[in-house]
C-alpha cells in the first residue's frame, strides 16, 4: 500500500490533478464514477471547468505547504493515486487526485511534448516523448498512456519521413489499444488510420487499405454512419484509392463524405468546402474538367462567404481553380485567379516570404503563355531570388526555377540568356542526382538545343 504524504514529500512537492464543477451533485456523481473505475484524467477533460481540463486536470507539482488551505485539508492522509473528498473551491466543487512521482514526471514530459508538437518543434517533441515513454513504461506494458506516447512519437518520425522508426511504434501502440480498450474502440481506429497513412506515404497501398477499411468500420459501428468522424475515415480511404488511380472506388466515398459534412455542418461550412475540393480534385485528376469546374467554384464561394474574398484561407481555392483552367490552356481565366492568390499571399506573408515562390512562378507561367513577357520576367526573378536565399544556391528547387527562366528566354529566342541558366541548373542536378535521372537528361537536352540555336544565329 502506498504511503500517505510524508514530511519529505510535503517539502519536495506532489503532483496533483483536479476536476472542478459547478454543483455538489455533479462532483459526487463524478467521484462515484471514478471509484467504479473510470479515468480521473478523461473525466477531467470532459467535465472540468478549470483551465487544466485539456491536460487531464493536471495542475503541476507543488510543495503541499504552498497549496491553499482547502487543498491541504483535502490531501491530508491521502495516498498516491487516491481521490480526495469533495473540496469547496470558491463557488465550485472540486476533486483532487494525488499523483505518484512517476505519474507527475510522465505528465510533465507529456505536456511538454504536446506543446512542442503544436508548435511543430519536432526535435523537442521527440526528446520529450522519449522521456515520457521512459516513465510510461513503468505503468506497465499495456498502459494506454504508453500507447498515446508511442503513437505521437511515431507521428513525429512519420513527418520526418523516418518510416522505419515509425512503423514499429505505431504497431505497438495499436496492439496496446486493442488489448486495453478492445478491438472496436474508437481509439483503435486512430491507430489504424495512422499506420495506414504511414503505409500510404510509402506507396504500400495493399497494406494500407485493410487498415483504413477496418478503421472506417469501427467508427461506423461506434459513432453511427453519419458522424463527421466517419466522414474523415471515408476521405482517408478515398484518398488511398485516388493515389492508386482507382477513381471509381474513390468517387462514391468522397460523395458520401460530402453529404455527411453538409448534414453535420450546413452547406456553407469550410469543412464542406474541403470535401468539395477533394471531389473536384478527383475529377481534375481524370481530366474531367467539365465536372471539376462547378465543384471548385462552389468550394471557392463557400470559403469566400465564410472568410471574405481576401482571406488567406481563400488563396488555396483560387489556385486550385486557376490550375484547372491552366491545364485546359485557358490562361485568360487562370490569370486573375493567380493574381488574387499572389496578392493575398503578399499581404499576409510579406513580399519576401519563402512561401511566395510557387505563387510567383504560377503567375509568371501564365503571363508567359499570354505573351506578357515584361510582366513575367520580374516574377521569375523574384521567385528565384527567394529560393536561393532560403534553400541555398545549389538546391534542386533552385535548379527547377533556373530551367523555368531558361525556357522563358528560349521561347523569346534569347538563347544567349537561356544557356547559362541551363548550364547552372544542369550542374546542380548532376550533383544531386544520377546521370540517368529525368531532370538531368531533360535539362541537358534543353541546354544542347539552346546552344545549337544560338550557334545557328551566328
Give the other-Cβ count within 10 Å of 69's Cβ: 7
Cα–Cα distance, 162 to 57 (Å, whole number): 33
pLDDT, position 8: 37
CATH top-level class for 101-189? Answer: mainly alpha
126: cell is 521527440
Angle at 74 between CA 69 and CA 75, to 5 degrees: 100
48 C-beta neighbours (distance < 10 Å), count: 24
Q: How many CB atoms within 10 Å of residue 229?
A: 19
**Domain residue ranges of the chain, discontinuous segments joined by +:** 7-99, 101-189, 392-458
- Residue 61 has a pLDDT of 83
Its pTM stands at 0.82
Quote the pLDDT of residue 72. Answer: 87
* 406-417 burial code (b ≥16 CB/10 A, e <16): bbbbbeeeebeb
Distance CA 242, CA 282 (A): 7
Domains 101-189 and 392-458 share a fold: no
What pLDDT score does 267 carry?
97
In this predicted model, what pLDDT tens digit does every residue of 63-105 receive, in sequence order?
A: 777 888 889 888 888 888 889 999 999 899 999 998 877 888 8
3.90.110.10, 3.20.20.70, 3.10.50.40, 3.50.30.10: CATH of 7-99: 3.10.50.40
Query: How distant, in Å, are the alpha carbons of 280, 286, 319 from that of 276?
Result: 6, 16, 15
The answer to whether the CB of 9 falls within 8 A of the CB of 64 is yes
Q: Tell me how far apart the alpha carbons of residues 19 and 44 are, in angstroms, rounded to a whole number.
A: 5
Find the helix or strand (DSSP H, E) in which 136 lies. Answer: helix 122-136
Find the angle CA(32)-CA(37)-CA(41) to the nearest 5 degrees.
Answer: 90
Give the 3-state secondary structure of residue 87.
strand
pLDDT at 76: 86
- Establish how many alpha carbons lie within 13 A of residue 149's alpha carbon, considering only the half-sphere containing its beta carbon: 27
List all residues 6 or more positions away from 301 whose beta carbon is below 8 Å from its beta carbon: none
Q: Which residue in 242, 297, 291 sits closest to 273, CA to CA? A: 297
**Helices 438-457, 396-411: inter-axial angle, 10-degree rounding:** 30
Residues 6+ positions from 245 with CB-CB distance below 8 Å: none
What kind of fold does domain 392-458 have according to CATH? Methane Monooxygenase Hydroxylase; Chain G, domain 1 (1.20.58)
Task: Check if the beta carbon of residue 238 is closer than 8 Å to that of residue 278.
Answer: yes
Strands 92-99 and 87-89: antiparallel
Residue-wise pLDDT tens digits, 274-323: 999 999 999 999 999 999 999 999 999 999 999 999 999 999 999 999 99
Which residue(s) pair with 17 in the sheet?
Answer: 58, 97
Output the DSSP codes for 315-384.
HHHHHHHHHHHHHTT-HHHHHHHHHHHHHHHHHHH-TT-GGGHHHHHHHHHHHHHTT-HHHHHHHHHHHH
The segments of the chain whose pLDDT lies below 70 read 1-13
Q: What pLDDT, on the 0 to 100 scale, is given for residue 12?
A: 52
CA dihedral 226, 230, 231, 236 (to 10 degrees): -160
DSSP secondary structure letter of residue 227: -
Residue labelled with grid coordinates 503505409: 199
First to last CA, the chain: 95
Amino acid at each position: 500500500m502506498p504511503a500517505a504524504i510524508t514530511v519529505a514529500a510535503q517539502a519536495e512537492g506532489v503532483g496533483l490533478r483536479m476536476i472542478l464543477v459547478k454543483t455538489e451533485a455533479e462532483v459526487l456523481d463524478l467521484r462515484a464514477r471514478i471509484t467504479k473505475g473510470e479515468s480521473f484524467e478523461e473525466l477531467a477533460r470532459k467535465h472540468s471547468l478549470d483551465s487544466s481540463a485539456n491536460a487531464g486536470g493536471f495542475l503541476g507539482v507543488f510543495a503541499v505547504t504552498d497549496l491553499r488551505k482547502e487543498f491541504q485539508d483535502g490531501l491530508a492522509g491521502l495516498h498516491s493515486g487516491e481521490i480526495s473528498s469533495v473540496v469547496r473551491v470558491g463557488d465550485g466543487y472540486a476533486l483532487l487526485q494525488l499523483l505518484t512521482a512517476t505519474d507527475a514526471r510522465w505528465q510533465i514530459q507529456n505536456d511538454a511534448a504536446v506543446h512542442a508538437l503544436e508548435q511543430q518543434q519536432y526535435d523537442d517533441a521527440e526528446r520529450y516523448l522519449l522521456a515520457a515513454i521512459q516513465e510510461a513504461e513503468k505503468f506497465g506494458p499495456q498502459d494506454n498512456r504508453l500507447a498515446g506516447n508511442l503513437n505521437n512519437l511515431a507521428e513525429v518520425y512519420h513527418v520526418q519521413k523516418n518510416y522505419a522508426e515509425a512503423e514499429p511504434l505505431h504497431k505497438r501502440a495499436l496492439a496496446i489499444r486493442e488489448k486495453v480498450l478492445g478491438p472496436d474502440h474508437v481509439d483503435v481506429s486512430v491507430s489504424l488510420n495512422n499506420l495506414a497513412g504511414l503505409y500510404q506515404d510509402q506507396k504500400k497501398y495493399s497494406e494500407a487499405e485493410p487498415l483504413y477499411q477496418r478503421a472506417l468500420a469501427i467508427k461506423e459501428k461506434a459513432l453511427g454512419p453519419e458522424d463527421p468522424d466517419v466522414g474523415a475515415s471515408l476521405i482517408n480511404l478515398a484518398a488511398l484509392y485516388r493515389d492508386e488511380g482507382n477513381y471509381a472506388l474513390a468517387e462514391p466515398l468522397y460523395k458520401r463524405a460530402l453529404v455527411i459534412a453538409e448534414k453535420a455542418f450546413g452547406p456553407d461550412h469550410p469543412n464542406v468546402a474541403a470535401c468539395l475540393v477533394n471531389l473536384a480534385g478527383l475529377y481534375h485528376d481524370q481530366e474531367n474538367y467539365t465536372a471539376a469546374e462547378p465543384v471548385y467554384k462552389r468550394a471557392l464561394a463557400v470559403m469566400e462567404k465564410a472568410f471574405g474574398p481576401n482571406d488567406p484561407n481563400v488563396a488555396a481555392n483560387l489556385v486550385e481553380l486557376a490550375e484547372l483552367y491552366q491545364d485546359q490552356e485557358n490562361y485568360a481565366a487562370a490569370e486573375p485567379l493567380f493574381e488574387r492568390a499572389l496578392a493575398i499571399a503578399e499581404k499576409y506573408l510579406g513580399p519576401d516570404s519563402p512561401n511566395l515562390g510557387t505563387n510567383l512562378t504560377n503567375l509568371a507561367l501564365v503571363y508567359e503563355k499570354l505573351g506578357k513577357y515584361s510582366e513575367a520576367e520580374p516574377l521569375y526573378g523574384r521567385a528565384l531570388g527567394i529560393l536561393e536565399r532560403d534553400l541555398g544556391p545549389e538546391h534542386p528547387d533552385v535548379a527547377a526555377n533556373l530551367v523555368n527562366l531558361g525556357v522563358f528566354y528560349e521561347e523569346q529566342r534569347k538563347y544567349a540568356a537561356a544557356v547559362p541558366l541551363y548550364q547552372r541548373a544542369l550542374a546542380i542536378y548532376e550533383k544531386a542526382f544520377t546521370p540517368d535521372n529525368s531532370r538531368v537528361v531533360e535539362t541537358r537536352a534543353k541546354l544542347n538545343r539552346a546552344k545549337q540555336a544560338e550557334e545557328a544565329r551566328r
